[in-house]
Amino acid sequence: MKIAVVVNDLELSKAGGVGSFVYELCKAFLKANQRLMLIGIINKGENDNDEMTKELITMGASAKCLNTRNQKDALLHFLLLAEKLRGILNSYADGEKIICNVHLKLAALVGTFASINNKRISVIETYHSQYSRYYLQAKITSPLIKKVICCSDSAYDEYIHRFGRKNDVYSIPNGIDMEGIRRFATNANQANQQERDSETTFYSVGRLSRQKNLPVSITGFLRCSGLKAKYYIVGDGEDKEELEHIIGSNKSIQLLGNLERVEVLRRIAKADMVVMPSLWEGLSIFQLEALALGCPMMLSDISAFRQVFNENQLNSGELFRVCKWGYLVQTNNADAWKHAFSHYATNSCLKNEMHDMVMEISNEYDIGVTVSRYLDVFHDVIGG
C-alpha cells in the first residue's frame, strides 16, 4: 500500500507531541513494509537537518515539502498549495490508489482540497483534539474525507459532539515504540552516569502555555513546607515570565528550558514522579513516554488522562486520589496539588508498586497496536 502522510512542517522533532506521534507512526508503517511519503507544507529552512525526518528517509521514506514560508502564507495560498500537492500525490500514486493521511488543520485543509475529483486519493484525517476555530473547515471538508481517526476516546467524543459527524469516525489511541523508548533511555543513562538526586524529584515537560496549567502545580508545590524535593520543568513558551514570577527566588523549582529528547528521556527514567496538571489533552505523547519508562504520574482530573488508566473521575470534595499508577488531582485546586506533592514525598515507598502498574498498562499503547488498527482502516478504504 502507498501511504502519504501530510503534516504542517517536516521538522517533526520541533512539532511537539503531534510531531513525535507522526514520527512513531511513520516508523511503524515502514517496519510493516508499507511504502511511505512524508509531505510537509511549511519550510522554515531547517527541514534537511531534522533528525526525525532524516531517520525516516534512511528507513526508506521519501520526503517532499511545498515550501511555503509560514502558516499565514499557506492559508492565503492554500488553493495553489493544494494544486501543487495534487501533482505530488498523482506522481506518487503512478496510477494506483493511495491513502493520504492528514494531521492538524492546515494539512487537513490542503490535503482535502488536493483530492477533489481524484478517485485515486483517499483522505483520512487524524484528529488530535481541541482544534479551535475548526467548525467551518470541518463542515466544508467533511465530504472529502473518507474516514476520521481520533487520537483518543476523549477526542472521539469531542469530534462527534462538536462537528456532528458519526459515520466513519474511529477512536484509535496514539501509541509509541515502548521497547524503543526504553532502550533509548537506558543507553542514554549508561552514557551519562549522573548520580541520582538524593531528594524526591518531580518533572513536568511541555510547552509553557495555558493548556499545561503549570501555575497551579507550581503554586501547590511552593505551599509545601519543609519538603525535601525538587520540581524540574522542561520546556519554553509564552507563560515563561509568569512562571518565573510565581517561582521567585525559590531554588527547589527549576525551569530547565528546552532540552534534547534524549536528555528528557534520560531524566524521566530516573525521576520519582511525572507531573501533568493540564487543562486538556488529546492523548499526550509525553504521557506515553512516561508510561514506557514506568514513571508514576501525578495527573489533573481530565478525561484524556483518566482514560489511559481506566480511572473514574474524582468524587465531589475529593482533593486527590492515590491510585495504583500514581495520583489523580483536582485540576485547578492548588491546595489539592500541595497535598498530593506532600503525600508522595513522605510515602515514596509507593514508587515500586506504581512503577509495576505503569509498565503493565504501557503495553496497551505500543505503536504496533496503533499501526495495526490504522492499516485496518486504510485497507477498508482501498478495498472499497
2-175+366-383 and 178-364 agree in CATH topology: yes
Regions of the chain with pLDDT less than 50: none
H/E stretch holding 333: none
CA distance 196 to 185: 15
Compute the chain's Rg from CA coordinates.
21
178-364 placed in CATH 3.40.50.2000: yes
In this structure, how many other beta carbons lie within 10 angstroms of the beta carbon of residue 344?
25
| pLDDT of 292 | 93
Return the CATH class of domain 2-175+366-383.
alpha beta
CA distance 231 to 345: 11
| pLDDT of 262 | 83
| pLDDT of 294 | 94
CA distance 16 to 20: 6
Query: In this structure, are residues 185 and 265 in contact, taking their beta carbons and an 8 Å threshold?
Result: yes
Query: In Å, how far from its chain's centre is CA 89?
Result: 27
| pLDDT of 260 | 86
Query: In this structure, are residues 337 and 277 in contact, taking their beta carbons and an 8 Å threshold?
Result: yes
CA distance 287 to 297: 8
Per-domain boundaries in the chain = 2-175+366-383, 178-364
Pairing, β 320-322 against β 273-276? unpaired
In the DSSP assignment, the letter for residue 321 is: E
Residue 223 class from Cβ within 10 Å (0-12 exposed, 13-18 middle, 19+ buried)? middle
Q: Which of 13, 98, 103, 102 has the alpha carbon at shortest distance from 54?
A: 13
Residues 6 or more apart in contact with residue 97 via CB below 8 angstroms: 2, 119, 120, 121, 122, 382
Residues 6 or more apart in contact with residue 378 via CB below 8 angstroms: 1, 3, 99, 101, 124
| pLDDT of 189 | 62
CA distance 348 to 358: 16
Distances (CA, A) of 35 to 13, 157, 378: 22, 32, 13
CA distance 151 to 383: 23
C-alpha cell at 376: 485496518
Q: Which of 1, 87, 89, 83 has the alpha carbon at shortest distance from 38?
A: 89
